[in-house]
Structure 1
Amino acid sequence: MRILLLAGAFNSLTQRVHAELADRGHHLGVELVTRDTPLAALVPRHAPDLIVAPMLTTAVPREVWSARPCLIVHPGPLGDRGPSSVDWAVHLGADRWGVTVLQANDEWDGGDVWATAECPVPEVGKSDLYRNEIADAALAALLTAVDRFAAGTHRPQPQHTLPAARLLGRPRPRLRQDDRRIDWAADPTASVLRTLRAADSRPGVRDQLLGGTWFLHGGHRESTLTGRPGELLATRHGALCRATVDGAVWIPELRPARAPGEPAPIKLPATLALGDRLPPLPEIPAPLEPDDAHRTWADIRYHEDGPAGFLRFSFPGGALSTDQCRRLLAAYEYARTRPTSVLVLGGQRDFFANGIHLNVIEAAADPAAESWANINAIDDLVHAVLTTTDRLVVAALGGNAAAGGAMLALAADEVWSRAAAVLNPHYRLMGLHGSEYWTYTLPRRVGPETADYLMHRALPITAARAQRLGLVDRVVDCPAGEFGDRVGRLARRLAASPGVQSRIAAKKDRRERDEAARPLAAYRDDELARMHRTFFDPDAPYHALRRAFVRKEPSAGTPEHLNAPAARVGCTAGTTG
C-alpha cells in the first residue's frame, strides 16, 4: 500500500514505524507537521491509501481524515485520552499500560478503535519506556491495524459501544509542572524517582536550586548517601546526588529555565550546567565492579561470568561526550586485562550509543575545539576495540544506535541486536562525513556499494534488515527487560564453544593482513581531515544543524531525503529502501 506518515517529529517511534512498514513492502511518504502545515494541500500529492500518525501533537484537519482513512497511534490503553499518557503511566506507578490505534475524527482520541496492545511498565524513565515497551506495543497494534485495513473486511469499533470493562484507561489532563512538583522536605525517594522519571527527557521537573530555576532530567536511586532533605551531597561524573527524606537520588542532567529573549536552553550534565554555581562537593566515583553490599548508580559497569566479561554502559540519550568516551575507554582497557575469551559491550536495555555529544559541544566555549576533542576521544575508543586481538568482542544493542554509536558497534567482531532496535548508520543529516573508522568497518561488512547507499539514503533500518545487509550478526527477539539475560546466556555459550580460540587466532591474522594492506591510521587520518575542515569552518552546515537539533528548533518543512525515491543496491539482496 501507499502509506503516508504524519508526525510531529521523526522521533524514535516514527523511525521504527517507518522502518518496519518499509520492511513489509509498503510505499511510504512522510510529512512532518506543525500547526501551520497545510496538510489539506500536501496530502493529495502523496495519494496515500492510508494515513498513519505514529506521533502527532496537533489535530488532523477534517478535510484530511474525512477524505482518507487516518490511523492515530495513541500511547495509552483503551479509554485513555489526553496528551500526557506515558507521563501519567510513570508518574502514577502503573504496572501495565497500553497503546490504542484509533481512526481520526472530530473528537481528540475518541475515534473508532482498530487495534490495541498492552505492555508492562518497568521502573524506568519515560523515554526508555516509550522507546521500548510502549514502542513494542505500538508496533504490534499498528501492524494489526494495517493488516486489518488491507484486508478490507474489518470494521473498527466505536468506543461508545465497547463494554466499560474493556476501557482500561480514562481521560486525563496534561501533566503540568504543578503536578510534577517535588517537595524535598516530605516526599520519599520512591515518589521523587517517579516524578523525575515521568519527565526525564521532556519537559523535566521544574525546581529551585542554588538560587536559580532549573529543570531536572532523569533520576536514579542512591543506596548509602544520606543528608538533610533537599541538600546536595556529592557529584559523580557530571551527576548530582540530592538527599530525600529517606535516602537520596542521583540527577544526571539539568536545564536552566529560559530567560526572556534568550535562545532555548539545553540539557547538560548537571555539574556542567551549574558551572560556577556549584558549591564544593565531594566527587564520589562508583566502583567499576560493585559488590552486593555497595549497590549504587553508575553509568559504566563491568562484571564477569566465567570466561565472558560484560562492559555495560548507559548514557542519557545515548550520547558520548569526550569525558564519557575517555572513561569508557579506561573501563575497556581494564576489561582487556581480565582472563576472558569473550567481551560484551553494551547489553543493557535502551540506547546503545548515538555518537558525539552535541549538547555538550553546543554549550562549549569553543564548539569547534570540543567537537574535535570529542571525535578523537570516540576514535580512540573504537581503535581499542578494533585492535583487540586476544578475545572476541561482541556489541550487544539493547536499543537504538546511530552515527558514531553504530560505528562503535561495527568495530566489534559480532553485533547482536534486540529485534526492536533501529539503526541509523549515517552522518550526513548533521552535515558530517563521520569518523570512528567507518570507512574501514562499514564496507568490510556490507561492501562499498551498500555502504555508500546507507550513508547517502540516511534512513532508519530495522535490526532484521541490518542482519540481511550484514550489519548485524544475531537478532534477539525478546522484551527489553529480558535482553540482558539473553545476551548473558549467549555470551557464556560462545565463550565455552570449542572453536572460540581458533576464531580468535583467525581474527588476529585478519587484522594483521588488513593492517599490512592499509593501516588503521590511514583511515583515521583521512576521516579526521574531513571532520577538521567541517568543525573549524564557521560557515559549515554542521554548526547550524547542530544548533537546531539541540535547541529543538522546528524544522522548515519535511526533509527531502524522507520522500526521495528509493534506489536499488545491486550487490546485496533485500536492500531497496
Structure 2
Amino acid sequence: MHVLLLAHSFNSLTQRLWVELSELGHDVTCEFDVNDAVTLQAVELARPDVIVAPFLKRAIPEAVWKNHLCLVVHPGPPGDRGPAALDWAILEGHTDWGVTVLQAEEGMDEGPVWASRTFPLRHATKSSLYRNEVADGAVEAVLDALARLGDGPVGRPALAPFRPSPRQADRAIDWTHDDTATVLAKIRSADGTPGLLDSILDRSVYLHDAHAASGLSGKPGELVARSGRAVARATTDGAVWIGHLRAREEHGLKLPALDVLGPQDHLPEAPGYHDIWYDERHGVGYLHFPFVNGAMSTDQCRRLRAAFVKAAQRPTKVIALMGGPDFWSNGIHLCTIESAASPAEESWANINAMNDLTREIITCGSHLTVAAMQGNAGAGGVFMALAADLVAAREAVVLNPHYKGMGNLYGSEYWTYLLPRRCGPDKARQVVEARLPMGTAEAERLGLIDCRFGRDVPEFRRLVEEMAEALTTDPALDERLAAKRLSRAADEAAKPLEQYRAEELEHMKLNFYGFDPSYHVARYNFIHKVKKSRTPLYLAVHRSKINNIR
C-alpha cells in the first residue's frame, strides 16, 4: 500500500509510524505540510492509497481530504476535539485517556472514527505520554484502520465541545494556594516549547523538568534548596525540584536551572534531584542516566564516566547501562553548546567527553556491560550503546544511528570501530548515510542490537533484570570475560582506539572550526525550531525522479 505521511515535522510519532509501516512492507513517503500548494503537489506526486496525518498544526486542504482518504491521529478519545488534548487531560487530572484515528472532514476533529485505543494516564510529562502511550496506541489504531479500509469507519461518536490550546493563564501557578500535585500537573501539561511561564527571582522564565522534592518545605513560592544544577521551590504542602528553565527572551534556551538563574550559593545543598544514579541488586550494577531529551552535556558525560568507573570497581560482574525511560541517549547537548561563549569550543569539549566515556565502556575488562535501551536513541547515543558487550532494546524504541542530518556532522564515539564490528563495513556505510529512523527489528537484523523485548518500560526493566541476573550466575561468565579481554587486545594491536578517535576528530574539527558552517546553522535551526521550508528528499521519496516512475 502507498502511504503518504503528512506532518508538520518528522517528530517522534511520525518516525514511529514510518518505522512500523515500512517494517510491514508498505511503501511509505513523507511530506512536511508547509503550505497548501506544497501539500497538493505532494499528493499528486505520491499518488497515495491513503494519507496518514500523525502530527499537524493546521487543517488539511479541502482539495486533499475531499479527493483522498485522510486519516488523522488525534491524541484524545473519540469525540474529543482540539489541538491540545493531552494538555487538558493532564491539567484536569484524568485517570484514563485515549488516541483516535479519524477521517479528515471540514470540521476540525469532527470526522468519522476509524479506530481508537485507550490507556491509563500515568503521572508524567506531556512529551513522555505522547512518546509512549499515545505513540503505542496510535500505531495500533492506524494499523487497525488500514486493515479495514474496505469496511469503512466504525461510526461517529458524540462530539465534545472544541477546546483551544490552554493559555498561560489557564495553567499559571498560584504558589500561595497550589499543592505539589497541582504544580507538577501544570508544569507537566506545558512540557515542550515554550513551557510554563512563571517568575523566579523577578525573572520571567519557563519551567521544565519538575519532580516532587520529598522532605523539603518552606514558605510557598520561595526557593528552599539546590541539588546539582536544580533548585527546589516550596509549595503549600512541600516542594518541587525544577531541573531546567528557559528564560523568557528572544532565543532563550532550555538549560539547567542554575545556568539561567546564576549561582544561588545561599541555598542549602540537598539530595533529591538526580540525573545520574547507581543501584545494585543480586550481583548486577544498574547505572541510570535519564537526561532531559537524552542530551548529554560535557559535564554530564564527565560525571557519567566517573560513575561508570566507580561502578566497575564494585565486586559485581555485570553492569547494566539503563539510560532513561524516554531516551537512552541522543549524544552531545546542543542547547549547552548553543549557549556557550564559543559553540565550536564547547562542541569540541562535549564530543571529547563523550569519547572518554565511550572508551571506558569499550575497554572495561572486569565486567560484562549491557546497554539497556528503554527509550529512543540517536546519533552518538546509538554508537555509545554499541560500546557495550550486549545491546538490548525495548520493542517500540526508535533509533537514529546517523549524524548527517545535523549539518553533515561526521560523528565520533568510535563509531568507525564499533559499527563495522557489528554489521560489517558495507552495511555500516549504508546505516550512517541513510539518515532514516530505524526500528528494533531492522536493528536486530543488521546486528546493531542483540535482542529486543518488552511492550512497555516496566516490562522491559523486569526482563532486563532477569537477563542481567542470569548472566551473573552463568558458569561461563569468567571465561566470557577472559575472551572479551583477549578480543579487545587483538583489536587494539590491529588498530589502536586512539587512531580511530584521531581520524574521527579530524573530520569533527572541520565540522566545528572549518569554513563550512552547516553544522552550526543546522544546530541553531534545530534548537530554535526553525520551520523547514521543504521536506528532505530522503523522506520525500515521491519527489525523487526515480521513485516517481511506477
TM superposition score category, shorter chain reference: over 0.9
Equivalent-residue separation in structure 1 for 2:109 and 2:6 (angstroms): 16
The corresponding residue for 2:481 is 504
- Give percent identity, aligned residues only: 48
Letter in 1 for 2:390: E
1:251 counterpart = 2:242: yes
Equivalent-residue separation in structure 2 for 1:96 and 1:57 (angstroms): 25
Deviations 1:341-373 (A, max 9, x none): 110001642100000000110011100000000
The corresponding residue for 1:222 is 213
Whether the 8 Å contact between 1:348 and 1:483 is mirrored in structure 2 is: no
The corresponding residue for 2:444 is 467
1:408 counterpart = 2:384: yes
Deviation at 1:310, TM superposition (A): 0.4
1:238 counterpart = 2:229: yes
Equivalent-residue separation in structure 2 for 1:539 and 1:520 (angstroms): 28
Q: 1:210 to 1:538 in 2, by over 3 A?
A: farther
1:326 counterpart = 2:302: yes
The RMSD of aligned alpha carbons is 1.8
DSSP 3-state at the match of 2:538? helix
Letter in 1 for 2:140: A
Deviations 1:86-107 (A, max 9, x none): 1122222222111100011101
Q: 1:396 to 1:283 in 2, by over 3 A?
A: farther
Consecutive unaligned residues in structure 2, runs of 5 or more: 545-550
Deviation at 1:500, TM superposition (A): 1.8
The corresponding residue for 1:270 is 257
1:280 counterpart = 2:265: yes
Whether the 8 Å contact between 2:288 and 2:324 is mirrored in structure 1 is: yes
The corresponding residue for 2:321 is 345
1:205 counterpart = 2:190: no
The corresponding residue for 2:412 is 435
The corresponding residue for 1:292 is none
1:128 counterpart = 2:105: no
DSSP 3-state at the match of 1:38? helix
Whether the 8 Å contact between 1:232 and 1:243 is mirrored in structure 2 is: yes
1:479 counterpart = 2:456: yes
Letter in 2 for 1:433: Y
Equivalent-residue separation in structure 1 for 2:97 and 2:80 (angstroms): 10
Q: 1:565 to 1:85 in 2, by over 3 A?
A: closer
Deviations 1:2-24 (A, max 9, x none): 11000011011111110111111
Letter in 1 for 2:400: N
1:300 counterpart = 2:276: yes
Letter in 1 for 2:20: E
Equivalent-residue separation in structure 1 for 2:387 and 2:441 (angstroms): 19
1:106 counterpart = 2:82: no
The corresponding residue for 2:174 is 183
TM-score by length of 1: 0.91
Q: How does 1:357-372 map to 2 (within 5 A)?
A: 357-372=333-348
DSSP 3-state at the match of 2:360? helix
DSSP 3-state at the match of 2:246? strand
Deviations 1:12-41 (A, max 9, x none): 111111011111111111111134653122
The corresponding residue for 1:293 is none
**Which is further off, 210-219 or 36-45?**
36-45
Whether the 8 Å contact between 2:290 and 2:323 is mirrored in structure 1 is: no
Whether the 8 Å contact between 1:342 and 1:491 is mirrored in structure 2 is: yes
Letter in 1 for 2:210: G
1:158 counterpart = 2:155: yes
Letter in 1 for 2:259: L
Equivalent-residue separation in structure 1 for 2:35 and 2:165 (angstroms): 18
1:388 counterpart = 2:364: yes
DSSP 3-state at the match of 1:185? coil
Q: 1:452 to 1:285 in 2, by over 3 A?
A: farther
Q: How many residues get paired?
A: 543
Consecutive unaligned residues in structure 1, runs of 5 or more: 287-295, 568-577
DSSP 3-state at the match of 1:430? coil
The corresponding residue for 1:61 is 61
DSSP 3-state at the match of 1:18? helix
TM-score by length of 2: 0.95
The corresponding residue for 1:520 is 497
Which runs of 4 or more aligned residues in structure 1 lie more than 6 Å from their structure 2 counterparts after TM superposition? none
Q: How does 1:161-172 map to 2 (within 5 A)?
A: 162=157, 171-172=162-163
Equivalent-residue separation in structure 2 for 1:219 and 1:134 (angstroms): 21
**Which is further off, 40-49 or 50-59?**
40-49
Deviations 1:125-168 (A, max 9, x none): 1111111111111111111111212xx2x120331xx4x6xx8x
Equivalent-residue separation in structure 2 for 1:27 and 1:393 (angstroms): 38
DSSP 3-state at the match of 1:60? coil
Equivalent-residue separation in structure 2 for 1:283 and 1:534 (angstroms): 42
Q: How does 1:563-574 map to 2 (within 5 A)?
A: 563-564=540-541
Whether the 8 Å contact between 1:348 and 1:484 is mirrored in structure 2 is: no
DSSP 3-state at the match of 2:319? strand
Letter in 2 for 1:369: E
Deviations 1:459-497 (A, max 9, x none): 001111111111111111322233222221221122222
Question: Which residue of the other structure, out of 311, 322, 326, is the alignment partner of 2:287?
Answer: 311
